Amino acid sequence: MKRMHIHLNVDDLNKNIAFYNTLFATEPTVQHEDYAKWMLDDPRINFAISARGAKAGIDHLGLQTEEEGELDAIKQRLEKAELNIESQENTACCYMKSDKHWVTDPQGIAWESFHSLSDFPTFNEASKEEEPSSCCAPPSDDQPSCC
């Protein structure tokens, strides 16, 4: 089964956590000084926010798979459509290790298909000095890659 994923950049993490706690009627499943995530079953969504200095708004959208085979099936569909895919294996981002496949939709929004492998103790594998402000989408004209 798949889960919709939405990642937003926010200016004030605590203010947004309070808002989304009210909206979702629950507290974050994961929370760090720069990041919070709600793993909801109704609706089935992985909703994440981060305050890392990037412009507020949508960072990326995605599909999270529960099984590796589901991720492989998504990749096959993307390949069949001849989309430009950037694959990342066992990469660290957003406090998780995951296998991922990135594409960009016609509007320029990054879409991440991923299967989480394990928790990771930091936002990504870069040092604090190297860490970009946004999440781990592949590079675009206005957003560097962190993974």
Annotated domain spans of the chain: 2-119
pLDDT tens readout for residues 113-123: 988 874 555 65
Under the banding of pLDDT at 50, 70 and 90, the label for residue 145 is very low
Q: Are strands 57-65 and 44-50 parallel, antiparallel or unpaired?
A: unpaired
pTM, two decimal places: 0.77
Give residue 35's pLDDT. Answer: 95
Q: How far is CA 72 from CA 20, 64, 101, 120, in A?
A: 32, 12, 9, 23
User: Which residue from 146, 147, 2 is spatially nearest to 74, judged by alpha carbons?
Assistant: 2
pLDDT at residue number 28: 98
Fold of the domain built from segment(s) 2-119: 2,3-Dihydroxybiphenyl 1,2-Dioxygenase; domain 1 (3.10.180)
Say yes or no to pLDDT of 19 above 60: yes
State the pLDDT at residue 1.
87
pLDDT tens for each residue of 70-86: 999 999 999 999 889 99
* DSSP characters over 41-70: ETTEEEEEEE-SSSPSEEEEEEEEESSHHH
At residue 77, what are phi and psi to the nearest 5 degrees? -65, -45
pLDDT (0 to 100) of residue 116:
81
CA angle 54, 98, 41 (to 5 degrees): 85
Model pLDDT, residue 21: 97
pLDDT at 141 over 50: no
Nearest 5°: the CA angle 13, 16, 17 is: 85
Alpha-carbon gap, residue 26 to 51, rounded angstroms: 20
